[in-house]
Amino acid sequence: MTAQNRNPLFVVIAGPTASGKSTLCERLVKEPQLGFERVITTTTRAPRPGEIDGVHYHFLSPEVFEEKVRAGEFLEWAWVHGDRRYGTLASSVIEPLSRGQNLVANVDVQGVASLRACCPRFPLLARSLVPVFINITPEELQQRIRARGTDDEAEIARRMATAEKERAAASQFEHQIHSGSRDEDFAALLEIIEQAKSHRG
Ligand SMILES: Nc1ncnc2c1ncn2[C@@H]1O[C@H](COP(=O)(O)OP(=O)(O)OP(=O)(O)O)[C@@H](O)[C@H]1O
Residue 54 has pLDDT above 70, yes or no: yes
User: What are 102-144's pLDDT values in tens digits?
Assistant: 999 999 888 999 999 999 999 999 999 999 999 999 999 999 9
User: What are 16-35's pLDDT values in tens digits?
Assistant: 888 999 999 999 999 999 99
What share of the chain has pLDDT > 70, as a percent?
A: 98
With a 6 Å cutoff on the Cβ, whether 148 touches ligand 1 is yes
The alpha carbon of 42 and the centre of ligand 1 are apart by a number of angstroms equal to: 23
Determine the pLDDT at residue 83. Answer: 87
Nearest residue (CA) to ligand 1, atom 26? 17
Q: How confident is the model at residue 61 (pLDDT cuts 50, 70, 90)?
A: very high
Determine the pLDDT at residue 18. Answer: 85
With a 6 Å cutoff on the Cβ, whether 144 touches ligand 1 is yes
Q: Which domains, and CATH codes, for the chain? A: 3-200 (3.40.50.300)
Q: Read off φ and ψ for residue 183, nearest 5 degrees.
A: -65, -40
Determine the pLDDT at residue 32. Answer: 92
